Copies of this chain bind each other. A is one copy, B any other.
């Protein structure tokens, strides 16, 4: 449990860094960057919580997320060049982050008594809609609508989780396996430049 929580916080931190760097590219000021960092990090979970009716939304009830996001902003401002060199590490944490956010979002939705199909959808929303909101606020077409396999990796992991859960697999082992699947698909997708089909 503590391990999951640590990954959750690490994922939040990486998402906040990604938000800050995107805001910086757009020449946002410090306040704008802070908003984008926050929304990138907690936006997906916020939309899930609003849709299923879990309010106040999650990040309002645990200050650790806010503290980490608050740390990520000056960290990104002052160590920008250093972070850009760590691109691979960042990518890995992002992959771990979306894996975990997917499964946690799915579990929360099931706990609210909603159907498995909705739970899978809310898992994906938790993982990827922070980035969608970030792109909308930066006046860009959301990256994941045109990018390599990203949401699809989350979708695959979520579906496998449900399947193994129905097979009676131990929950911790199931989480581990499905998060690893998401990470693996992400890495392969980027290495091999997998793409989703586009309409002619």
Contacts and interface: CB of A to CB of B under 8 A. Distances in A.
Q: How many copies does the complex hold?
A: 3
B114 A28 contact: no
Interface residues of A, number: 53
Contact of A146 (B29, B66, B115): B29
A145 B24 CA distance: 10
B57 A146 contact: no
Given A141-B138, A197-B30, A112 B56 contact: yes
A168 B53 CA distance: 35
16 contacts: A20-B199, A27-B198, A29-B145, A29-B147, A29-B196, A31-B144, A31-B155, A31-B196, A32-B145, A46-B51, A52-B56, A63-B115, A66-B117, A136-B136, A136-B137, A137-B142
